[in-house]
A = this chain, B = another copy of it.
Amino acid sequence: MSEAPHLTFNIDAPGLSTGHLAVPKGTDCEALSIPVFSLNRGEGPRLLITGGNHGNELEGPIVARRLIEWLPEVQTCGRILIVPVLNPPAVRAWSRNTPVDGLNLNRMFPGRADGSVSERIADAVCRVLVPEADTVFDLHSMGPRWDSAPAVITHPIADADLMAKTLHLGESFKLPVTLLWEHDQTAGMFDTWVHSQGKVFICTEFGGGTVGFEDLKIYETGVRNGLIALGLIEETVDIPTYRQQKFSQTLETLLSDKVTSPAAGIFEPRCSVLQKVQQGDLIGKLHPMNSVSADSVDIRAPSNSIVCTIKSGAHVIVNEEVAIIARPLKR
């Protein structure tokens, strides 16, 4: 029988201590040693910060590494566990899914001890790390095929109190967008499982496309604001500047807001992120690639809305999502 997942060090030692989350070997690959950083200042909130759940979203791991540089100096209470890279094989491959088993780690929670590597990582996280936290920040981004406003997103939560707490903490990040995202495939997501434990889960979608220096400053500022809201540090909230503006707004996107491609071809974005569009406005064009006779097709806004996310110029298949539109959340 394989050994159980465990931490290789005492996370309750004072100050910064480091070690690994040991994920046992399986039939598909050897054991993994995932670096974990514990920042302990005694009583107070217990926070878990994770990055690199998807291997082509490296904003999270970079922000996590930055936190480790300055947080020990300013943390006033509580204990913060930081795991910059949850899914090392996917990060090494710059791949959304785990290359060993082809699975999306973020659809595997709470995982299986005797499963493939993605399932074993999820199992180790749920059994070893989540019980040590009251709140989780999972640092995602939309990935290289999207242009997207930095956002905290949450799916609707049945527990009204947890929903309110989550939205409130999400808004405290002061990112340009806090988005309530109706989604029909939340089974196996990390947030779904943490919610089931009655804990607050913040998912950032830091942006999409290129990971640049200016973008990273925005993301780090957002997480810093979240740490202030939790009372883990005593600093002044700073609203990050995004595209020459300082603002944050709370939006909602419904299943019926999906904008998809009518055919396969090259998608050309014709609007910018956070642009307001009226029903019928041009969002993008779809250029069929193989035919010289098939005209390019206009893709138009289905309703008056704000463009949160738009696909980068890319080849898409028929019915592939090309934009996420939203509108101000009514409470």
Instruction: Identify the A interface with B (CB < 8 A).
Output: 18-20, 33, 35-37, 55, 58-59, 61-62, 65-66, 69, 84-85, 88, 91-94, 144-147, 208-214, 216, 244, 266, 268-273, 285, 287, 289-293, 296, 310, 312-315
Main secondary structure of the interface of A (DSSP, over half): mixed
Which listed residue (B35, B84, B211) contacts A314, Cβ 8 A? B211
Report the separation of the CA atoms of residues A313 and B310 in the bound assembly, to the nearest whole angstrom.
20
Contact A313–B146 (Cβ < 8 Å) = no
Q: Which residues of B contact A20 (CB under 8 A)?
A: 292
Are A59 and B289 in contact, CB atoms less than 8 angstroms apart? no
Report yes or no: A91 in contact with B289, Cβ–Cβ below 8 A: yes
Given A84-B287, A88-B289, A292-B20, check contact A269 B314 (CB 8 Å): no
Partner of A293 from the list B18, B85, B269 (CB cut-off 8 Å) is B18
B266 touches A65 (CB 8 A): yes
CB neighbours of A290 from chain B (8 A): 33, 35, 88
Most buried by B among A19, A37, A147, A208: A147
Tell me whether A212 and B272 are in contact (CB under 8 A).
yes
Known A19-B292, A88-B289, A290-B35; contact A266-B58, beta-carbon cutoff 8 A = yes
25 A-B pairs (CB sep. < 8 Å): A18-B292, A19-B292, A20-B292, A33-B290, A35-B292, A36-B292, A37-B292, A58-B313, A61-B287, A62-B266, A62-B313, A66-B268, A84-B287, A91-B266, A91-B289, A93-B315, A94-B315, A144-B144, A144-B209, A209-B212, A211-B269, A211-B314, A212-B269, A213-B269, A213-B271
- Which residue from chain B places its CB closest to the CB of A17 in the assembled complex? B292
Please name all residues of chain B whose beta carbon is closer than 8 Å to the beta carbon of A287 when the two chains form the complex: 61-62, 65, 84
Q: A59 contacts which of B19, B66, B313 (Cβ < 8 Å)?
A: B313
Task: Name the one of B213, B268, B291 contacting A65, with C-beta atoms under 8 angstroms.
Answer: B268
Q: What are the 3 tightest A-B residue pairs by CB atom distance, in nearest-first order?
A: A209-B210, A211-B313, A18-B292
Given contacts A62-B268, A65-B268, list 18 more A-B pairs with CB under 8 A: A19-B292, A35-B289, A35-B291, A35-B292, A61-B289, A66-B268, A69-B296, A85-B289, A91-B289, A94-B145, A211-B312, A212-B312, A213-B269, A213-B310, A214-B272, A216-B268, A216-B269, A216-B313
